[in-house]
Amino acid sequence: MSMAAMRHWPLPDTHNIRDLGGYARGTGEPASTAGETQWRRLLRGEALHTLRADSAKALVDEGLVLVIDLRGPHETSVTPHPFRDYPGVAYRNVVVFDALAPIALAKPPFEMGRRYCDALDNCGPRLAEVLRAIIAAPPGIVLFHCTAGKDRTGVIAALMLLLAGVSHDDIAADYALTASAEGLIEQLRVRALSAGTDADHVERILASDAATMLMMLDHLDNVHGGITRYLTANGLSTAELGQLTDRLCA
């Protein structure tokens, strides 16, 4: 089995829940001890309303302790969240960057990479709030998600992997794995087209090209001075950055 295939959690009612473990460290910024990110620490995912009771229990049995829902109220109010009142699992809703979803709200002309850069520029305090929620979680698995598990989720995943010292290329490759969630992408495509959204616009939004994430990572370095300067400028202490790195790596 390939490493990419190992990342996908084999739940029958989801398409894009993935593990951030197994990435080489020490190749990015900040300088890190050699090694790999740990498995079963952080999961990134799509909307979870399709989870059956047995799938939810399977996640809990594997050690799920916190779910961070990055969606806005126009999304969270449509369907009940399976972990909102789940015994033993904390639920947090942090609306990171509402303009990143869903497709119907993103009007052309549109460039997804530019939206990610805008998220860094304008939503630092909310991104920091998500990271502090990860710090505060008890030992176990933290799952953060949006609707497709690509955009808002991809920004948070990138920040965590950067802190761990994972290279830009590996972070971009992780982002691009959403393209392999064909069932989910097709569902979103059909929903958007049925709502009358322009077909070319839909494809631009659903794409998860590595170059899009590399654009955001370059912006983080060139405009904000890298991950450490960016997060400290948004209120996180050096000690908190260490706690985040430990969450994924220790």
- Inform me whether the pLDDT recorded for 103 exceeds 50: no
User: The sheet that has 18-19: what strands, in order across it?
Assistant: 18-19, 42-45, 141-145, 64-69, 90-93
- 108 or 153: which leads in pLDDT: 153
The least confident of 126-130, 134-138, 148-152 is 148-152
Q: What's the pLDDT at 199? A: 72
Q: What's the pLDDT at 31? A: 55
Listed by start position, the domains of the chain span 3-249
Nearest alpha carbon to residue 178 among 14, 11, 12: 14
Nearest alpha carbon to residue 27 among 211, 156, 169, 240: 169
- Inform me whether the pLDDT recorded for 188 exceeds 70: no
For residues 134-139, average pLDDT: 98
Read off the tokens for 210.
């590595």
Place of tokens 């990171």: 96
Q: Give the Cα separation of 48 and 35 in Å (integer).
A: 32
Assigned CATH for 3-249: 3.90.190.10
Q: Categorize the per-residue pLDDT at 131 as very low, low, confident or very high, splitting at 50, 70 and 90.
A: very high
Beta-sheet pairing, 42-45 with 18-19 = antiparallel
Q: What's the pLDDT at 148? A: 86
- Inform me whether the pLDDT recorded for 104 exceeds 50: no
pTM for this entry = 0.89
Q: Categorize the per-residue pLDDT at 87 as very low, low, confident or very high, splitting at 50, 70 and 90.
A: very high
